Amino acid sequence: MLIPIGTVKPHHSHRFFARTTLVKGHYHYIEGFTKTVNGNGLDGHVHAFQGITSNQGKHYHRFYSVTGPAIPLGDGGHYHEISDRTYYNYDEPLELLYGGVQYAANERPKHDHQFKGITYEAVGYDPYYERIFS
């Protein structure tokens, strides 16, 4: 069976990992999996991703973003670049009894971090894709 290059777009996601910039004497790690989409290394698709950074200095940051377009690899796979910033959090954490996000009534010093990295190999199993090539 002949299938034109770039027409098969398997359902997949990617693992990502990056370290934020150093701000206020600390940095955070971000890691997780992108949202799933159908795509390949030639179609320019992107993935949404979100999460919470590692906890450093008694706080964490939220992040929400979209990857750059697919970058093809020689083996037929692809990856994506990620680059954005975290949401702000206070320089000195609030004393909380329970987890979650809480903001003070008065203005407090706050900061954010930049991050940049790449995704790793596509993960997931697409039965349609497997049926075509098996």
Q: What is the pLDDT of residues 23-33, one digit of tens each?
A: 999 999 999 99
Query: Which three-class secondary structure state does DSSP give residue 53?
Result: coil
Domain boundaries, the chain: 12-133
CA angle 77, 18, 29 (to 5 degrees): 145
Which pLDDT tens digits describe the chain residue by residue (134 residues)?
555 555 678 889 999 999 999 999 999 999 999 999 999 999 999 999 999 999 988 888 999 999 999 999 988 889 999 999 999 887 777 676 666 666 666 778 889 999 999 999 888 766 665 555 55
Q: Do 21 and 129 contact (CB within 8 A), yes or no?
A: no
Residue 131 phi/psi, 5-degree rounding, is -65, -35
Q: Which two tokens stand for residue 67?
A: 């990857």
